[in-house]
Structure 1
Amino acid sequence: MRRLLLCCGLALILVVLYPISVNGLSPSMNDDVLGLIVFKADVQDPQGKLASWNEDDESPCIWNGVQCNPRSNRVSELVLDGFSLSGKLGRGLLQLQFLHRLSLADNNLTGSLSLSLGQLPNLRTVDLSGNSLSGPISSDFFQQCGSLRSLSLAKNKFSGQIPASLSSCSMLTSLNISSNQFSGQLPAGVWSMRALRTLDLSDNMLEGEIPKGIEGLTALRALNLRKNKFVGEIPDGIGGCIMLRSIDLSENSLSGALPGSMQKLTLCNDLSLQINAFTGNMPDWIGEMRSLEALDLSENNFSGGLPSSIGQLRSLKQLNISTNTFSGILPDSMSGCVNLLVLDVSHNSLSGNIPSWIFRLGLQQLIFSENRLSGTMDNAFAASMENSRQKVVALDISHNNLSGEIPLAIGVFSSLQVLNLSKNSLIGGIPSNIGELKLLDILDLSENQLNGSIPLEIGRATSLNKLILEKNFLAGNIPTSIGNCSMLTSLSLSQNNLTGPVPAAVAKLAYLQYVDLSFNKLIGTLPKQLADLGRLLSFNISHNQLQGELPAGAFFNTISPSSVSGNPGLCGASVNRTCPTVLPKPIVLNPNSSDSPPGSIPEKFGHEKKILSISALIAIGAAVVIVVGVIAITVLNLRVRSSASRSAAALTFSGGDEFSHSPSTDANSGKLVMFSGDPDFSTGTHALLNKDCELGRGGFGAVYRTVLKDGRSVAIKKLTVSSLVKSQDDFEREVKKLGKARHSNLVTLEGYYWTSSLQLLIYEFVSGGNLYKRLHEGSGGDYLSWNERFNTILGTAKSLAYLHQMNIIHYNLKSSNILIDSSGEPKVADYGLARLLPMLDRYVLSSKIQSALGYMAPEFACKTVKITEKCDVYGFGVLILEIVTGKRPVEYMEDDVVVLCDMVRGALEEGRVEECVDGRLQGKFPAEEAIPVMKLGLICTSQVPSNRPDMAEVVNILELIRCPSESQDDELG
């Protein structure tokens, strides 16, 4: 409050006393301190940059942004650039009578300029650019500005006319009032400021003709009038500004021919005249401007041929004459432009062949599109072989009349990022060495007469973003190697003669947005994995010979009917055609089928099916019962007899649970459902739920291994949460949903068994053990390599992304639930089991799955927060860190508990994250992969669910992190 009252008082003192005498103020407060404190009172300082400004100080010379003259100890410079100050410019600055430099650039100051430069007689430099100052500039502002050398009011919102009084600033060397809203005509008095070296009036709304008299500015180095509304011709007097280095008159409405006096500007480096209405030829005298490095005449009405004198511009680096009506051929003299890097002659009427000298210049960008060039490219590309290290980044010769084949020499252009040869009459095949262009971003060969097949080597161009080959005569299959072009966003192969199926590799292209395969002869069914492409905006497969059901989910649920038309064999909602059932129906063994003979099912199924050999199971089951004691045997036998008296057969397992087929429908009846195949447990059932064949136990139950009659092993999970399991209808609904999940990185659920007291889940058997044991219980020499770890992370991510696509949440992700198959691939188990329980939130926090506590997202502890897929993302992030570091999620020391996420995050902040990698991998892992993977793990374990990425995004990130393997290149070679 004291400071506020003081500032208000000081402001009042200034208003009242300043007109009388600044020297009449109390000597106890320095004039500069007074002025700056009042200035501070008028602005807001959100970042506290002016905190050092204290009204109790005798001098402001140590304040932030303030500099003083060491002799007079008075403020000479006030530089507060980028301080984020807001508010208005107050009259406090008027106290700074010895101020030479005032710079308040890049703040948020508002309001108008109420000050006059004459009130600060010693000012040399004023920079108020990059604020939001507005309103017109009064003529008083420029009065008595004779001492001013540099003024910048750029990037504000000033409006109105430029005051004629500006001409009184006779010593001004730099004037920048660009990027405002000034209007009206440019005062002719501007040319009277003979000391001007730089004049920037660009990006305003100035109009009328450029006034005559500019020849008086003999010291002018840079003139920028870009983006205004100037009309008429360039004043002939511009040739008198012989010191000009840079001229920018672009984006106006200037017309007429270029004045001949411009040839005097021999020091000019940059001449920009684009987007005007200039006419006439490119003058012969252009070669006299020998210092030119950049010449832009684009988007005008220039005509005629290019003069041979252009070859004298040996310093020229950029030449843009696009979008005019130039004709004829490029003169051979241009081979003398030895420093030329960018040549754009597009949208003209140039004719002839591509010059043979063009690739000898070391060009980086060459744009010839939309001209009348003809002939083959052979001579030009043959000459390119003379320089085996071509620097061309962009080559566009589209929309001409070129003929012949694409030269094999294209492989020399290793730096090429854009290659556009579309809309010509090229023939032959696509050169196989196109795959050597590792940096190629855009390849457009559309609308030619190319034939042959798409080369397999296209997969080596791994940077491809757009591949456009439409409207040719290409045949053969779409190469599967296209899956290596992981950056593709656009794929257009329409209107060719392509055959074969749509390769599943297309589904690997996670960034795809636009796909057009229409008007070909493609056959087969579409890969179901295409539904995983989350960025698709358009997918046109119309007018092919495709058949079967469209992929389900995501983009394909709303695909346009026109995008799939012309394929009589396709079915689904989008083509208004019901798909026939192609998968075998689940085998349901009903206990009310006792009248049927063994090996068959009831007549209502219409055909024979094998069923379990009940009597054999009884005998074998009884034979393998572990005898705990006489009483247990007696009870067990009583249960078997009781069960046999109630049904045609029964199976008895250790623990006294029943697995039976009964003719009754009471609570003791059992129901077996297999989702595919024809199981028979008659062989190997001695192992079924036998303690000796137990594979392991988890929060949801124990898992046993048994062998089917055909020799195939399966894993059976006996749920130990029977009292918590949902009703039979809800249980079956959830299990059948899980049974539809089919992914190479998921353990397949093959069926289930139900009674009110016993529930079994039948899974495929995975032989390689689990990830936890491989990470934490292996011997010293037996550890996972980096490649194995990365594959495990990526495979697990893909499986979770697939589950989330099906609206299935895992809920219980941990390393012991990641199984490893015989080929080393990860398979995720125990997914979605918590959905079998009626009260998820209470159950997951119970002691039954506390082993997963280190993987559990923080929202599990909050009953009011919805459990979503982001919980799985959190657990996956912990799993990433566990795999890379080889450490458990929570490590218990003698007197400390180490949480893995916190440890890695701390190491990252200290710049030693590489030290966190498993010590067994030291020197045997790529840091460019390991460190980004760990950072991804930390992102996935964000405390805020919305900050975690989706699993589909995680998969994309991981595929970008992975360095291209040499093995892929070998396969393509």
Structure 2
Amino acid sequence: MARSLLFLLLLLLLPMAAWAGSTALSDDVLGLIVFKAEVVDPQSKLATWDEDDDHPCAWFGVTCDPATRRVVALTLDGLSLSGKLGRGLLQLRSLKTLTLARNNFSGELNPDLLSRIDALQTLDLSENRLSGSIPDAFFAQCRSIRSMSLAKNDISGEIPHNVGSCSTLASLDLSSNRLSGSMPSEIWLLNALRSLDLSNNALVGDIPVGIKRMYNLRSISLRGNQLTGSLPDDIGDCLLLTSLDLSSNSLSGNLPDSLRKLSICGYLSLSSNSFTGDVPTWIGELRNLETLDLSGNKFSGQIPSSLGKLELLKELDLSRNSFTGSLPESISACKSLREVDFSSNSLTGTLPSWVFELGLQRILISDNVLSGSIQVPAIAASAARVLDLSGNDFSGVIPAEISDLRGLELLNLSRNSLSGYIPMSVGELKFLEVLDASENRLNGTIPLEIGEVISLKELRLGMNSLTGDIPTQIGNCSSLTSLDLSQNNLTGPIPPTIAELPHLRSVDLSQNKLTGTIPKNLSDLPLISFNISHNLLSGDIPTGTFFNTIPVSSLIDNPGLCGSALNISCPAVLPKPIVLNPNSSSNPLSQPASNPNTLRHRKIKILSISTLIAIAAAAIIAAGVVVITVLNLKVRPSVSNSATAAPFALSDGYLSQSPTTDSSSGKLVMFGGGEAEFSAGTHALLNKDCELGRGGFGAVYQAVLRDGRPVAIKKLTVSSLVKSQDEFEREVSILGNVRHHNLVALKGYYWTSSLQLLIYEFVPGGNLYKHLHECTASNSLSWQERFDIILGIARSLACLHQHNIIHYNLKSSNVLLDDSGEPKVGDYGLAKLLPMLDHYVLSSKVQSALGYMAPEFTCRTVKITDKCDVYGFGVLVLEILSGRRPVEYMEDDVVMLCDLVRGALDEGRAEECIDERLGGKFPIDEAVPVIKLGLICTSRVPSNRPDMTEVVNILELIRCPQDSQEDEIG
């Protein structure tokens, strides 16, 4: 209360003091005290600021001129200060440097800041939470300003045209905001400008002409906008440019010849645009280049040999283009080169020796058409940390000399035609974290030395012809998180040492010839997926958190397995049979035999019958094995290993089995077996009375199978966009084979050229949206229920991403709750059924719910990845915790939930973000970390968002040991 009164008094006195002609010294003290009164100072850094002092020169962060004792610098960066930039700063008339970077200041820019503080030369307000637009008057009277940074705020609107009036400005940084509109041509009037950064905004249109006037410009960054058109012809007239970054826009056309004038340029990035044509040979004239990034364009032709003239070049990225021909031998002259990326082109020829001789640290040449053998020369430098040669046509063996690259952390040789054994020398790669040699023709056994690579996190050897046992030494790889040995000819048991790997999350041993039982202590691991299907395993399936809900598809085709997961009872353990000695007098079944010959004859007779029975049983078993083997060989190549398909005709409004195969017939496929018929016809299936809801892809109806199981039927209403039948069935089969207890299981599908139905398990508990937004405090979800729902959703997304499936449409209405309150995520992966996965389809058909959409959906040049799901998950977390919708519309404002929660957290009001219907009953030690995790997941930069596997791990760590107790906030 006293602080508020002081603040009001100072606000009233401030203009009066100015009118009364008070001393300059008191103006500085008064101005700083008013500034402090509007600031929240969690670290008490401003505690030394005392209004009773005659001067502020000894205060924290304050610098004075020794002669005049006026405040000339205020430096308060990185102190977690929050509040508004109040009028008190305007009293510091001699201020030259104002640095408030890396705090949490909010509100709009004061239009009088530059005009009132006419001595200001340096202004740094970067990395705060400033919002609104830049006032037109802000640049009107720049006076002596030389350096200005408003980067990493939330400033929107257009850049004022009068920015050109700041004639003394040498550095301007407006990056990482929400600025829109076109670049003002007046910006090229800043003749003193040396550095310009407008990156990571939403600027549109062409780069304005007139850049040649910027003869002092050293650095320009326009990356991460939506700029179009070709590069200005005079861009090369900025002869002093040392750094030019125009990446991640929609620029097009050929490279202008004027670029060859940038002889002192050291950094040139034009990546993720639509530039075309050949890369001109004059690129070799830019002798000072250290970084050249032309990736993600439409360049064609051969890679120019003139690149060999760039002796200072350290990083070269030409990936994701349409380059042809071979890798130039001239690059061997680039002695400073450390990183190369030629991936995703159409390069041919063999692997040049300079790849291993230059001492490169990162070598990425994946997804080309290179052939021949991989030869590591004896003089190979050992600096390589990443070697990715995947997706080519390399043949021959993996060279034993690969171990000479001792610093390797990632080795990817997958999707080639390599043969022979995995060399034992791989055990010498002590720093290796990822080894991927899948999809080759490797044979022989897995070397025992693999256990010496203790830093290994991912081992992928699937789709080869490996034989022998899985080595028990693999249990020494204590960092292993992912193990894929699927589709080989491995035999023997699953080594129990695998259960000793504490970080193991994903295991795929499917389609081998493994025998024996599943190690019981595997249930102690935090597994996300464990696929052992199509083997010869037997015995009980372990029980535990994961194995209680393991998908059936991960266990099928193991004739001897039993347990609740397969709904197969395990046989009881029978006592050993009693063996009776026929010569013993105690045998109650023995009869006296005075004639030894009679006894001998009886033994021979019994032996003959036993032998005959054994022979007959062996013959039956052998015949059964042959039949089963033949059937398996016929079944395995099918589209779905567990699907039962039958043609169905749609006639008289009913689905009925049809012996015909004409164009009017449909096809009904049920995954995992079951009655392939419905108890009612399509007039009931698609009746309005049976409708459960509607979404972006179509309506959902409730139905019942012939065997009595309830199901949900989704009728796709995007028939004109659906792929061909083959592609549709392939994509649906992929979705049908994904099983997780937090995913709505896809049971099957029905196809005709005019009607497509998806058959899902029926989840009776309604969707999460209703439980969050259509219930009262008396029946709202508890904290424990909300946490469990968040964790369940995270686990389901982690499972999808493990199968390379992106959800694309995560929102609360697509999360269902079963009878026990367990969440089940639905509508996953449906965008893959459409012919073109472009931004228009995603934004208009799939991501229809405003608020969940990741920022990259609005930028056509940014690749859509599973990080989009992470963003939607983050929004969903905040929605579950707060009980508020992602976007709320007020009378004159639109409130984004992410912004609201972030602001409350910054101001220390985290508990106010939690749904008030909980009545304050929640553990604050769990609530705050979950809020922060949700905000991290909604980062505007995709690479800053965690993977869903990491999210699951974090949530499991956040959960308090006493999670059954709900503490009230005092």
Amino acid corresponding to residue 539 of structure 1 in structure 2: F
Corresponding residue number in structure 2 for 1:396: 388
Corresponding residue number in structure 2 for 1:341: 338
Corresponding residue number in structure 2 for 1:438: 430
Distance 1:279 1:402, change over 3 A: same
Q: Does 2:41 correspond to 1:41?
A: no
**1:301-352: CA deviation from partner (whole Å, max 9, x where unpaired):** 0000011100001111111110000000011111001111111100000000
Q: Does 2:222 correspond to 1:220?
A: no
Q: Distance in 2 between matches of 1:241 and 1:306?
A: 26
**1:886-913: CA deviation from partner (whole Å, max 9, x where unpaired):** xxxxxxxxxxxxxxxxxxxxxxxxxxxx
Q: Deviation at 1:5?
A: 3.8
Q: Deviation at 1:257?
A: 0.9
The answer to whether the 8 Å contact 2:25/2:69 transfers is: no
Corresponding residue number in structure 2 for 1:69: 65
The answer to whether the 8 Å contact 2:3/2:37 transfers is: no
Q: Secondary structure at the match of 1:109?
A: strand
Q: How does 1:813-832 map to 2 (within 5 A)?
A: none
Q: How does 1:119-198 map to 2 (within 5 A)?
A: 119-198=116-195
Q: How does 1:449-468 map to 2 (within 5 A)?
A: 449-468=441-460
Q: How does 1:127-526 map to 2 (within 5 A)?
A: 127-378=124-375, 381=376, 383=377, 385-387=378-380, 389-526=381-518
Corresponding residue number in structure 1 for 2:14: 14
Q: Deviation at 1:43?
A: 2.1
Q: Secondary structure at the match of 2:494?
A: coil
Counterpart of 2:555 (choices 561, 564, 575) is 564
Q: Deviation at 1:551?
A: 1.8
The answer to whether the 8 Å contact 2:111/2:135 transfers is: no
Counterpart of 2:567 (choices 571, 576, 588) is 576
Amino acid corresponding to residue 506 of structure 2 in structure 1: Y
Q: Secondary structure at the match of 1:350?
A: coil
Q: Distance in 2 between matches of 1:4 and 1:406?
A: 74
Q: Distance in 2 between matches of 1:286 and 1:326?
A: 16
Q: Secondary structure at the match of 1:555?
A: coil
Distance 1:583 1:530, change over 3 A: farther
Q: Distance in 2 between matches of 1:31 and 1:4?
A: 20
Q: Distance in 2 between matches of 1:465 and 1:562?
A: 25
**1:533-569: CA deviation from partner (whole Å, max 9, x where unpaired):** 2x11111111111111112223112211111111111
Q: Deviation at 1:25?
A: 3.7
Q: Secondary structure at the match of 2:272?
A: coil
Q: Distance in 2 between matches of 1:27 and 1:468?
A: 75
Q: Distance in 1 between matches of 2:17 and 2:183?
A: 39
The answer to whether the 8 Å contact 1:468/1:492 transfers is: yes
Distance 1:945 1:482, change over 3 A: closer
The answer to whether the 8 Å contact 2:424/2:449 transfers is: yes
Q: Secondary structure at the match of 2:148?
A: strand
Q: How does 1:748-897 map to 2 (within 5 A)?
A: none
Q: Distance in 1 between matches of 2:451 and 2:386?
A: 20
Amino acid corresponding to residue 309 of structure 1 in structure 2: S
Q: Distance in 1 between matches of 2:3 and 2:406?
A: 67
Distance 1:402 1:64, change over 3 A: same
Q: Secondary structure at the match of 1:247?
A: strand
Q: Deviation at 1:187?
A: 0.8
Q: Secondary structure at the match of 1:410?
A: helix
The answer to whether the 8 Å contact 1:441/1:466 transfers is: yes
Q: Deviation at 1:415?
A: 0.7
The answer to whether the 8 Å contact 1:146/1:168 transfers is: no
**1:136-171: CA deviation from partner (whole Å, max 9, x where unpaired):** 111211122131111111111111111111111001
Q: Deviation at 1:503?
A: 1.1
The answer to whether the 8 Å contact 2:24/2:70 transfers is: no
**1:669-706: CA deviation from partner (whole Å, max 9, x where unpaired):** xxxxxxxxxxxxxxxxxxxxxxxxxxxxxxxxxxxxxx
Q: Secondary structure at the match of 1:179?
A: coil
Q: Deviation at 1:27?
A: 4.8
Q: Distance in 2 between matches of 1:104 and 1:250?
A: 29
Q: Secondary structure at the match of 1:351?
A: coil
Q: Deviation at 1:575?
A: 2.1
Amino acid corresponding to residue 379 of structure 2 in structure 1: E
Q: Deviation at 1:10?
A: 2.5
Q: Distance in 1 between matches of 2:496 and 2:69?
A: 78
Q: Deviation at 1:4?
A: 4.6
Moved more, 25-34 or 508-517: 25-34
Q: How does 1:524-923 map to 2 (within 5 A)?
A: 524-533=516-525, 535-582=526-573
Q: Deviation at 1:476?
A: 0.8
Q: Distance in 2 between matches of 1:945 and 1:444?
A: 34
Q: Distance in 1 between matches of 2:249 and 2:424?
A: 48
Q: Deviation at 1:495?
A: 0.8
The answer to whether the 8 Å contact 1:421/1:446 transfers is: yes
Corresponding residue number in structure 2 for 1:891: none
Distance 1:526 1:12, change over 3 A: same
Amino acid corresponding to residue 67 of structure 1 in structure 2: T
| Unmatched tracts of structure 1, length 5 or more | 586-602, 604-943, 950-973
Q: Deviation at 1:105?
A: 1.2
Q: Deviation at 1:448?
A: 0.8
> Between Structure 1 and Structure 2, how many residues are aligned?
583
Q: Distance in 2 between matches of 1:204 and 1:435?
A: 48
Q: Secondary structure at the match of 1:375?
A: strand
Distance 1:32 1:339, change over 3 A: same
The answer to whether the 8 Å contact 2:25/2:70 transfers is: no
Amino acid corresponding to residue 126 of structure 2 in structure 1: S
| Unmatched tracts of structure 2, length 5 or more | 577-587, 589-957, 964-970
Corresponding residue number in structure 2 for 1:100: 96
Amino acid corresponding to residue 158 of structure 1 in structure 2: I
| Bigger CA radius of gyration | 1
Q: Deviation at 1:82?
A: 2.1
Corresponding residue number in structure 1 for 2:933: none
Query: Taking structure 1 as the reference length, what is the TM-score of the superposition?
Result: 0.58
**1:592-623: CA deviation from partner (whole Å, max 9, x where unpaired):** xxxxxxxxxxx9xxxxxxxxxxxxxxxxxxxx
The answer to whether the 8 Å contact 1:429/1:452 transfers is: yes
Q: Distance in 2 between matches of 1:45 and 1:419?
A: 49
The answer to whether the 8 Å contact 1:91/1:115 transfers is: no
Counterpart of 1:54 (choices 38, 50, 54) is 50
Distance 1:358 1:948, change over 3 A: farther
Distance 1:27 1:6, change over 3 A: farther
**1:225-253: CA deviation from partner (whole Å, max 9, x where unpaired):** 01111101111211111111111101100
Q: Distance in 2 between matches of 1:259 and 1:205?
A: 25
Query: Taking structure 2 as the reference length, what is the TM-score of the superposition?
Result: 0.59
**1:895-943: CA deviation from partner (whole Å, max 9, x where unpaired):** xxxxxxxxxxxxxxxxxxxxxxxxxxxxxxxxxxxxxxxxxxxxxxxxx
Q: Distance in 2 between matches of 1:191 and 1:945?
A: 55
Q: Deviation at 1:9?
A: 2.5
Give the superposed CA RMSD: 2.1
Distance 1:416 1:29, change over 3 A: closer
Distance 1:2 1:560, change over 3 A: closer
**1:379-425: CA deviation from partner (whole Å, max 9, x where unpaired):** xx1x2x113x5111111111111111111111211111111111111
The answer to whether the 8 Å contact 1:436/1:461 transfers is: yes
